[in-house]
Amino acid sequence: MTKFYDAMVIGAGHAGIEAALCLAKKGHNTLIITTSLHSIGFLACNPNIGGTAKGHLVKEIDALGGAMGIVTDKATIQTRMLNLANGPAVHSLRNQVDKNKYHVLMKQMLEKQQNLTLFEGEVVKLYHKNGKINGIKTELGEKITTNAVVLCTGVYLNSTIIIGDYVKNTGPAGFQGANQLTDSLIEMGLPIRRFKTGTPPRVLKSSLDFSKLEVQEGDKDIYPFSQDTNFEINNDSPCYLTYTNEKTHKLILDNLDRSPLYNGKILGAGPRYCPAVEVKVVRFKDKERHQIFIEPEGQNTEEMYVQGLSTSMPYDIQEQLVHSVKGLENAKIMRYGYAIEYDCLDSMALLPTLAVKNYKGLYAAGQINGSSGYEEAAAQGLVAGVNAALYLEGKKEITITRDIAYIGVLIDDLVTKGTQEPYRMMTSRAEHRLHLRQDNADIRLTELGHKLGLVSDERYNKFKEKKRKKERLMAMLDKNYSPKMCQEVFSKKNQPIKGGISAREVLRRNGLDYRDLIAIDKEFDIGENEILKQIETEIKYQGYLEKQQKAIKEMKKMENKELNADIDYELIPSLRVEAREKLKKVKPLTLAQAARVSGVNPADIIAIMVYLQKGGNK
């Protein structure tokens, strides 16, 4: 007997979850297969969601109808808004979550989703015919036919755990790896590379000396990730801060020959922006200390995560490292830190739709594409899932561009520029970051989510009501107030006022905000401070936003110039050899993407434009 599903998702991590939910919501009979049902939505590393730029991604996933935001809100045990000392472009929500609760909630969501079947097993082979994916084979020999596959294997492909001299072929946290699928991908001609990431030790809460640690409480103002959140978010679990010291650094430097990162045992490329502690000590020898955050893994466990002390040093060195840190002198280690090496695809093998080049019906999302992080994985999973669904429906697939979402920046960087190390999303990667704020993610993307069938009519109607409220408040900004009406508020803020002033000018002034406007005029108090704060940002940064909109408009002209993926660049006169080679590899879908390819210069773009004007690209 051969089973059939419209689509299959291989892997049930953060990418696989979003991909499977998208396919099922759009009415496609979908199978999601994982090596262990216990690993669904598992937070193998840090027990938090969000952070700088990553919080933007979660907001965008939610605006498009994804699951990560609402489940994070339900599993939160502490919430903080990062970068408040800087401008609104980089304000990023970060929530500490109960990792077991997060897993349970995600598993329940998959189990209850119509058109979706959960299955435990290992995929060892992909079947294809005439360039189209048509099935898979499991380790048990079972063959399942399908019309579309989304690869979301995370760090499980040929994964190897490394602790000092100890090496074991296994997945993260003891979960079973996927040891045979890589061979099938190589047989298909897909480019495979080897990356590495890692995790720190976990320690017993009761063994720590909290009198020596700095308490890090959650914020008083609580913001949800999801627009659907209508419940109180938990915020009562503190984190703690401590630091490495001279003793910690000496211990590392004296034992570098025992570090797999320096003695040749680890060959995979590691993350630049979340390195192991031994890398930080070697790379930044002038620094006297590095931050260490002690974070709870959940409310029903005594396990604490030692963020900042990621290492693959031998167990005896890890014991000494932990005990060298202030407050951790008598800490009992519950799990040792480890490095994990794994196979992944060269992301240049993908189109901006996250379809794998040369194979119809095959998509890839998450860490198999060379990215790092739960949020980056979930964002890709949603896009890959949507496009797999559109492919099944015979409709044009979508490309989320850099000007409308961080998701677009993430995917464009991966498929156009590629990455030589685990890719991490950062606000500095987005050229239009003031426009791509997390507070306006719903404004930018909810329409698209509803059009794709991922955002419910109920949610969409709430969104339209929010837009109407914003328009009503915007229309009130020309109201004028006499100096007498503003005197009390302005005197408290040491603000001068000589004549009348409009509501717009109140918000534009440095030192004043939307709360001051409410104090002057109660008509603005409609219980929607989130909307008022958004309006305030748009007023204060109006000039910068207008410049970005102008730049976006210019870029759109090139984005709208579509290129055939199979265009023959050998036929374009005046195109340099290097440009031809790079363009043939990337296969850009628009002129704008072609311009971003490394090795392609403005003269090459002009040559392509002339070719298009003469009737090429058919």
Whole-angstrom distance, CA of residue 279 vs CA of residue 563: 43
Answer whether residue 533 is part of any domain. Answer: yes
- Tell me, yes or no, whether 213 and 255 share the same domain: yes
Answer whether residue 60 is part of any domain. Answer: yes
pLDDT < 70 positions in the chain: 1, 617-618
Tell me the sheet residues that pair with 92.
82
- Given 518, 545, 572, the domain boundary residue is 545
Using alpha carbons, list the distances in angstroms from residue 391 to 28, 361, 386: 11, 7, 9
Answer whether residue 554 is part of any domain. Answer: no
Report pLDDT for 95: 98
Report pLDDT for 618: 62
Report pLDDT for 270: 85
Report pLDDT for 1: 53
Q: Give the CATH number of the domain where residue 102 resides.
A: 3.50.50.60
- Using N-to-C axis directions, what is the helix angle for 441-451 and 54-63, rounded to 10°? 40
Within 13 Å, how many C-alpha atoms sit on residue 344's CB side? Answer: 33
Answer whether residue 555 is part of any domain. Answer: no
Q: Which residues span the domain enclosing 515?
A: 467-545
User: How do residues 443-465 score in pLDDT, each as one tens digit?
Assistant: 999 999 999 999 999 999 999 99
- Tell me, yes or no, whether 14 and 82 share the same domain: yes
DSSP per residue, 587-610: --SBHHHHHHSTT--HHHHHHHHH
Report pLDDT for 228: 95
- Tell me, yes or no, whether 65 and 119 share the same domain: yes
Contact 415, 67 (CB under 8 A): no
Three-point CA angle 238, 515, 84, nearest 5°: 40
- Tell me, yes or no, whether 37 and 156 share the same domain: yes
Q: Give the CATH number of the domain where residue 262 resides.
A: 2.40.30.260
Domain count for the chain, please give it.
4
Answer whether residue 476 is part of any domain. Answer: yes
The tokens for 29 are 């009979």
Tell me which amino acid residue 264 is: G
User: How do residues 535-587 score in pLDDT, each as one tens digit?
Assistant: 999 999 999 999 999 989 888 888 888 898 888 999 898 888 999 999 998 99
Contact 371, 414 (CB under 8 A): yes
Answer whether residue 551 is part of any domain. Answer: no
- Tell me, yes or no, whether 158 and 125 share the same domain: yes
Report pLDDT for 617: 66
Q: Which of 334, 101, 125 is nearest to 233 (CA)?
A: 101
Tell me which amino acid residue 72 is: T
Distance between first and last Cα of the chain:
44
- Given 401, 420, 451, the domain boundary residue is 451
Given the structure tokens 């049930």, which residue do they identify? 12
Report pLDDT for 564: 86
Strand order from edge to edge, sheet including 214-216 = 214-216, 239-243, 291-296, 303-307, 202-204, 333-335
